[in-house]
Chain A
Amino acid sequence: MHYKPQLPDESVNVTSNNFFVEAFKLLVGLVVVLILSYALLMFVIGVGIDHLSIDHEKKIHKMLAQKIDRNQSKEEHYLQSIVDDLNRCAKLPYNLEVSISSSSQVNAMALIGGRIIVTQGMLDAIQNENELSFVLGHEMAHFKHRDHLKGMSSGIVLTLFSIFLGNNSSTILNQLLEMEQMHYSKKQESHADRFGVDMLMCRYNTTVGSSDLFARMTQEDQWSDFMLTHPNFSKRVKKIENYIVQKGLNQKGESVPLQF
């Protein structure tokens, strides 16, 4: 038998490839796919949420609430009484429940099913009952316009992503989640601000306390964290003032002191 020694043919079994370029292409592809699916999911969930009835929302809330429900504290009772009173004006089809979170951040949130969360930091920042009522009225507006669900949809999508991608990326995603969940559009916020003013008029017959909190926030440094997620306070103050002037609402009167 004939045998002729030969070196192996190197061009056959190994694809000559720049791995760095390949990795870059694949990464870009992955990012594009993630962005597209995020947009698609946001759209689908957004449409679904627009059609979510309040009854269904209450059911979802019931499921979630079992984990957080507890007796209300004295402060929470006080906030609850204000909300109940405001709801006589707002007539929202929710059983609104107020909870106080121990966070030192200055914030308030509207969550699915009618739960309002006010942070301890917010309570410390507030100087009178009118300001508190404005904040609560603002959050109630999110229920009225159902903004809280739209804020949630991005939260749902990001949660799904973090499950899909596993634990490695969850820390980054969690930060995104926290930021996203509390983020409404400027339009939604100023809409809610106007509703808050209406609530003040309804309860106190004066708009005293409507823009004071935000006005203080624009002046002081200590709000910097909050400013990052809720920019444009001076604009919001102006918008609130314009609204009051336009509607010719009463700007005079005494503020009611806090009762805790």
Chain B
Amino acid sequence: MGMIDIIIFITLVLLGYVVGSVLERRHYQSIRQREEEFLALPTIALKTPLNGATIIDTRLVMGSTVISIDYFKKILASLRNLFGGNVAAYETLIDRARRESILRLKESAKDADEIINIKIETSSISKNTQGNIGAVEVLAYGTAIYRKKV
């Protein structure tokens, strides 16, 4: 039994590392590409619109992402847990989720002139449960502003 357990463990770690890093690289590519695409749409944390032109419509818009850690990162983070320090393995996870959420928010309001008062909230899913899946949910929400077209 002991040997089989070890083999399963090593397989999961390697699988997590290989598949996890491929997926992460692809996700970042997609994020960068779409960020350029939506660059023209201002997304800001100000409570008031950028200029005083007549507003014809406002709407609450949301973008939400759930990303899971892979087995390799889970092990890496639990090792980190013993020694303390910067959990770099989780930083990319959170970064991807936040940027993806803002992109989804923008995608949901493509025609808006600007999105103001943006808030970002993060929560972990299935924390502290046995055999947890260790996923993070990031929700970005704000107010989309539509102006009179000149």
Which residues of A are in contact with B by a Cβ distance under 8 Å? Answer: 1, 3, 5-8, 13-15, 17, 19-20, 22-23, 26-27, 29-30, 168, 171-172, 175
Are B83 and A14 interface neighbours, CB within 8 A? no
Q: Which residue of A lies closest to B81 (CB)?
A: A26
New A-B contacts (18) at CB < 8 Å, excluding given A1-B46, A8-B35, A171-B1: A3-B50, A5-B39, A7-B32, A13-B95, A14-B91, A15-B86, A15-B88, A15-B91, A19-B17, A19-B21, A19-B88, A22-B76, A22-B89, A23-B76, A26-B79, A168-B5, A172-B2, A172-B6
Instruction: Give the complex CA separation of A175 and B2 in angstroms.
Output: 9
Q: In the bound complex, do residue B79 and residue A13 qualify as a contact, i.e. CB atoms below 8 Å apart?
A: no
Most buried by A among B21, B39, B75, B79: B79
State in angstroms the CA–CA spacing of A70 and B38 once bound together. 80
- Which residues from B are CB-within-8-Å of A168? 5, 9
B56 interface residue (CB < 8 Å to A): no
Partner of A14, one of B1, B46, B82, B92: B92
Which residue of the partner chain B has the closest CB to A6?
B39
Which A residues are in CB contact (< 8 Å) with B9? 168
A134 to chain B, nearest CB (A): 35
Chain B residues near A (Cβ < 8 Å): 1-2, 5-6, 9, 17, 21, 32, 35-36, 39-40, 42, 44, 46, 50-51, 72-73, 75-76, 79-80, 82-83, 86, 88-89, 91-92, 94-95, 99
Complex CA gap A125/B44 in Å reads 84
16 contacts between A and B (CB under 8 A): A3-B42, A3-B44, A3-B50, A5-B39, A7-B35, A7-B39, A13-B91, A15-B86, A19-B21, A19-B73, A20-B17, A23-B75, A23-B79, A26-B76, A168-B5, A172-B6
Nearest opposing residue in chain A for B87, CB measure: A15
CA distance A30 to B81 in the complex (A): 11
Q: What is the CA–CA distance of A13 and B6 in the complex, to the nearest angstrom?
A: 35
The 5 lowest CB-CB distance pairs between A and B, nearest first, are: A171-B2, A26-B79, A15-B88, A17-B88, A5-B39
Taking the closest CB of chain B, its distance from the CB of A37, in whole angstroms, is: 12
The CA of A255 and the CA of B51, in the complex, are separated in Å by 111
By a CB distance below 8 angstroms, the chain B residues around A172 are 2, 6
Establish whether residues B86 and A8, one from each chain, have CB atoms under 8 Å apart when the complex forms: no
CA distance A17 to B77 in the complex (A): 13
Measured CB to CB, the nearest residue on chain A to B2 is A171
